[in-house]
Amino acid sequence: MKRAGFVVIVVIAALALFNLAVQRGMGGFRWDLTENSLYTLSDGARSILGGLSKDIELTVYYSEGASKDLPALRAYARRVQELLEEFEQLSGGKITLKKVDPVPFSEEEDEATAAGLQAIPVGVAGDNVFFGLVGKAGDKEEIIAFFQPNKEQFLEYELSKLIYNLDRAQPPVVGVISSLQINGGFDMYQQSQQPAWIVMQQIEDLFDVRWMPEDFDAVDEDVDVLMIVHPKDLSLQAQLAIDQFVLKGGRALVFVDPNAEQDQPGMPMMAANMPRRSQLDSLLKAWGVNLKENAVLADFKNSMVVGVGQARTPVRHLALLGLAEDSMTQSDIMLAGLESINVSTPGILEKVEGATTSFKPLLTSSDESAPIEESAFANMQNPESLFEKFKATGEQYAMAARVEGPAKTAFPDGIDVTEEVKDEAAQDDPAKDAAEGEGAAPAEPKTVTRHVAPDVIQSDNINVVVIADTDILTDRLWVQVQEFFGQRIASPWANNGDLVVNALDYLAGNPSLINIRSRGRFTRPFEKVDELRRTAEEKFADQQRELQDRLSETEEQLAELQQARQGGDEAGSGVLLTPEQEKALQDFQEEKLRIRKALRDVQHNLDRDIDDLGRQLKLVNILMAPLALTVLALIVMLWRRRGVKKSV
């Protein structure tokens, strides 16, 4: 047994030495056993780091001293710094990491503030806690104002995006195709020139916007993402150009609508009969998406109340929806952190049966929803009339979706294009020119039909985001605009603009950046504990409610008797309570104590299984691990003894 004990000590010492060696001499060796590989960089991040062309300096500002009483933040800070160290290690020397503790009233604190990092006051003294990042590459600078722990699943993406933006020479190019006047124009109804929508101003501040002409037949190679808003009457050439752009790896953000309220005709009297449905069905079908025919989404739970006149009570509009977090896929980077998005007469998106692409909803309705025919909105005077056509189906419908995966062209047989051409021979004929000069009618231009075949028939992976509403872009649904000394001041009250910018920012990124998905959280929930607690609560809920009801009833009766005693005392009657009442008072007080004890027992039973689980885990940690090592040592010892006997 002495020998066995010696072997155990040797094994433990070997493990300790191995751990020390890993920490000091083998810093690049790690074995990530977490469920979602939380400590292993994705292939997309590795690709970005491997292709860096500029030297980048990352400075993380973290208030080590001021955060001493914030254990959760300190734990997250370690995670962030470990990830940054791995970025530095895999960058091939292109990234240099600096760590700064901006103590109060120091130059480092002034630097952090000047860079735009956010400070959070903590403690009685109100010390500022900084936890942000400043990245520099030459004259370019990018920051993360504060690493928010509730967004840690997007940490790798945010860091990769910052590094990619620093390494990129020019801002992303966004090509815009729109049949609506999102960039401003003359309003026939108000007979005045209207400014660009606020969302376009935000986009132009962040991207290089390129407006596509009406007759375009190709998309420039330097365009990173197409933003298509309410496509109508697009030529076959334009549709083929979009088709080929997407199949060749270009990304698209598409806004379609069954009832685009801003689609107004040139003559107001034509508005009633003009269709307001977007026209992109062929391309959508090729991408595996369908905008449900003749359907506007109505949702009672998410519907908003609107005014219908000064003398009338506001009414609920079933197709004017205010979407909160429970209607958004918060695990998606485009929607993370957004709180409210407003849409008006949105459509319903469906996955095409047999589609090879994946269909991932981003915005969904509640289960109190139903489709309503588009015709119900043509001449609607009062939103209350929609209730006559509404009956909830109990289903949830998608209003926005991410579409990815393999896809084929919408034009496998190509297209025929008819063009007008000039008769060059006639232009060079002097006699004909003289005849035309004498009053002869000029020759009509010739038309030529040519066949255009697609260059790319299919793609292994497309990236398209489709949103079934164009009104989501209008100012009225998300921002209040005021004129101030000739300047337009925008005050957002919803996150519509954030969604659009997030989507463009995401789609305009490097393909490797797009492929980085949200990761699991480092701070994992105690799922087993939560399950035990729910089971216990269900088991004892009825008993607890019964005891609470009895306690409330007993306390009411006690209060009545106490009030009677006080009333008799104030009246000076001498007899406060009859002996029967006194005994009842005493019984009620004892009953109250018994009920309270029973409630404590119930609460103890609620936590008993959790406490048992905790004891089991402690037993495993304290006894089982050493026992396992001991068994391993004994096996090694027996194996060695057998080896010695065989050799003898």
Given a contact cutoff of 8 angstroms between Cβ atoms, the answer to whether 528 and 609 are in contact is no
> Does pLDDT of 22 surpass 50?
no
Angle at 251 between CA 401 and CA 257, to 5 degrees: 45
Predicted local distance difference test score (pLDDT) of residue 69: 83
Q: Which own/partner contact pairs does 23-29 have at CB distance under 8 Å and 24+ positions apart?
A: 27/89, 28/89
- The pLDDT confidence band at residue 542, using thresholds 50, 70 and 90, is low
- The pLDDT confidence band at residue 18, using thresholds 50, 70 and 90, is very low
Given a contact cutoff of 8 angstroms between Cβ atoms, the answer to whether 474 and 128 are in contact is no
pLDDT tens digits along 150-193: 888 788 888 998 999 899 888 899 999 999 999 987 766 666 77
Q: Which of 230-239, 334-343, 631-640 is predicted with the least confidence, judged by mean pLDDT?
A: 631-640
pTM equals 0.69
Predicted local distance difference test score (pLDDT) of residue 91: 93
Predicted local distance difference test score (pLDDT) of residue 560: 74
Q: Which two tokens stand for residue 119?
A: 């400070």
Backbone angles phi, psi at 173, to 5 degrees: -100, 125
Top pLDDT among 6 and 156 is at 156
**Alpha helices (H) along 92-142:** 107-114
pLDDT tens digits along 295-327: 999 999 999 988 766 656 788 999 999 999 999
- The pLDDT confidence band at residue 575, using thresholds 50, 70 and 90, is very low
Strand 251-255 with 225-229, pairing = parallel
Predicted local distance difference test score (pLDDT) of residue 419: 79
> Does pLDDT of 236 surpass 90?
yes
Residue 219 makes CB contacts below 8 A (sequence gap 6+) with 175, 212, 226, 241, 242, 244, 245, 250
Percent of the chain past pLDDT 90, that is, above it, reads 46
**DSSP of 510-546:** -HHHHTPPPPPPSS---HHHHHHHHHHHHHHHHHHHH
Distance of CA 268 to the CA centre of its chain: 39
> Does pLDDT of 365 surpass 80?
yes
- Grouping H, G, I as helix, E, B as strand and the rest as coil, residue 232 is coil
Q: What is the mean pLDDT of the chain?
A: 81
pLDDT tens digits along 38-89: 567 888 889 899 989 999 999 999 999 888 888 889 999 998 999 999 999 9
Given a contact cutoff of 8 angstroms between Cβ atoms, the answer to whether 362 and 346 are in contact is no
Alpha-carbon gap, residue 247 to 267, rounded angstroms: 39
CA distances 478 to 89, 296, 299, 494, Å, are 44, 20, 19, 5
Given a contact cutoff of 8 angstroms between Cβ atoms, the answer to whether 506 and 352 are in contact is no
- The pLDDT confidence band at residue 520, using thresholds 50, 70 and 90, is very low
- Grouping H, G, I as helix, E, B as strand and the rest as coil, residue 554 is helix
- The pLDDT confidence band at residue 523, using thresholds 50, 70 and 90, is very low
pLDDT tens digits along 617-627: 666 666 666 77
How many CB atoms are located within 10 Å of the residue 347 CB? 30
Alpha-carbon gap, residue 644 to 395, rounded angstroms: 73
Predicted local distance difference test score (pLDDT) of residue 21: 46
Q: Which two tokens stand for residue 646?
A: 């065989």
Please report how the helices 625-647 and 2-24 are oriented relative to each other, as an axis angle in degrees rounded to 10. Answer: 110
Q: Which two tokens stand for residue 494?
A: 């919803």
Q: Which of 109-118, 437-446, 558-567, 620-629 is predicted with the least confidence, judged by mean pLDDT?
A: 437-446
Calculate Rg over the CA atoms of the chain: 35
- The pLDDT confidence band at residue 6, using thresholds 50, 70 and 90, is low
Alpha-carbon gap, residue 389 to 376, rounded angstroms: 8
Alpha-carbon gap, residue 524 to 329, rounded angstroms: 20
Given a contact cutoff of 8 angstroms between Cβ atoms, the answer to whether 537 and 606 are in contact is yes
Q: Mean pLDDT, to the nearest integer, of 484-511?
A: 85
How many CB atoms are located within 10 Å of the residue 125 CB? 8
Alpha-carbon gap, residue 214 to 197, rounded angstroms: 20
pLDDT tens digits along 405-429: 999 999 999 999 887 776 655 555 5
Predicted local distance difference test score (pLDDT) of residue 366: 96
Backbone angles phi, psi at 60, to 5 degrees: -100, 125
pLDDT tens digits along 89-106: 999 999 999 999 999 888
pLDDT tens digits along 394-407: 999 999 999 999 99
